[in-house]
Amino acid sequence: MAILSIQSHVVYGYVGNTAATFPLQFLGHDVWALNTVEFSNHTGYGAWRGQVLSADLILDLVQGLVDRQVLDQGEALLTGYLGSPEIGQAILEALQKLRSVRPGALYCCDPVMGDYGRGFFVHPGIPELFRKQIVPHADLVTPNHFELEALTGITIRSSQDTRRALEKLHQAGPRIVLVTSFRENGEDADRIDMLASDGDRVFQITTPKIPLLPPPNGGGDLTASLFLSHYLETQDIQRALEATTASVYGILQKTGEKNSRELQIVGARMELIHPSHTFTARRL
């Protein structure tokens, strides 16, 4: 079975589909990588070349999968950075086509919108599109702390705020929520936390914060792809969270050792299957 991954693509570096495709393949998945943008490098460098691809092109490529009669082999859809609101609408149409031939296909949405320190970095209209139209159709959603607040309208400064935000997001549609780069009590401490919730259970996991300056882009894209892979395999959010955390930490550690601005996904590829560290999630 395959994963249809509709995300950005860069020629140099690891974000979007370049951060997701190889890890998913290394873990045993066929990946149909469909690109929303084609850039020379990620925008974190401040300058780049390339263009946002058209929504019509995305739909045409999905129709090509329909024509080949292979779309029913897709067990999941993974989406990330959109590029334009029109691409968001194209993703909804692609999801409809996928579920028409494979009703049980899982939709994992990484609602890429912004982060602390940068604010929103997407086109106007995209946050509302995620909140009102895309996220309600997702089975699994992977916001960071900033994006969780943006999707729910709740400022998270306490465990009670966290519970309310998770509950509100579940009520919007997704049955599984993974919160990346969670800032407990609003603090940016020397640790990184992630949360995973299935509506009944909430698990939190903590790792030391690896000093990376400047921090590499693509960590969220990598995390979403790994969590999707491990959840498809285990159907268990705790095990998926622990496996994802171990691999991401190992790759970030290798990235720091290389003093690289780009994730060392290929160089640290064995962290995907044999992580150097283990972390235990605790139930809240």
pLDDT score recorded for residue 122: 84
State both tokens at 40.
Answer: 């020379």
User: How many CB atoms are located within 10 Å of the residue 104 CB?
Assistant: 8
Where would I find the beta strands (DSSP E) of 90-154?
Answer: 106-109, 114-115, 119-120, 140-141
Token pair recorded at residue 71: 């779309």
Is there a contact between 180 and 144 (Cβ–Cβ < 8 Å)?
Answer: yes
Q: Which amino acid is at 6?
A: I
pLDDT at 186: 55
Cis peptide before 214 (omega within 30 of 0): yes
CA distances from 246 to 142, 274, 280 (A): 17, 9, 9
Work out whether strand 74-79 and strand 106-109 pair parallel, antiparallel, or are unpaired. parallel
CATH number of 2-283: 3.40.1190.20
* Structure tokens that stand for 12 in this block: 């140099």
Number of C-beta neighbours around residue 128 at 10 A: 12
State the pLDDT at residue 101.
96
State which H helix or E strand residue 191 sits in.
strand 191-197
Q: Kindly give the confidence (pLDDT) of every residue in the chain, 284 residues in length, as a single tens digit, with 9 standing for 90 and above.
A: 899 999 999 999 999 999 999 999 999 999 999 999 999 999 889 999 999 999 999 999 999 999 999 999 999 999 998 888 999 999 999 999 999 999 999 999 999 998 877 777 888 889 999 999 999 999 999 999 999 999 999 998 888 899 999 999 999 999 999 999 887 765 567 888 999 999 999 999 999 999 888 889 999 999 999 999 999 999 999 999 999 999 999 999 999 999 999 999 999 999 999 999 999 999 99
Give the separation between CA 194 and CA 207, rounded to whole angstroms: 9
Q: What is the pLDDT of residue 187?
A: 59
- For the record, the structure tokens of 51 come out as 């263009």
Cβ neighbours for 117, distance < 8 A, ≥ 6 positions apart: none
Q: Is the peptide bond before 103 cis (omega within 30 degrees of 0)?
A: no
Cβ atoms of 223 and 216 within 8 Å: the answer is no
Domain assignments of the chain as residue spans, ordered by start = 2-283
pLDDT score, position 254? 97
CA dist 210 → 13, 23, 207, 284 (Å): 20, 21, 9, 25
By the 8 A CB rule, do 154 and 163 touch?
A: no
Other Cβ atoms within 10 Å of 5 Cβ, number: 27
pTM tops 0.85, yes or no: yes
Question: Exposed, middle or buried, 52 (CB in 10 Å: 0-12/13-18/19+)?
Answer: middle
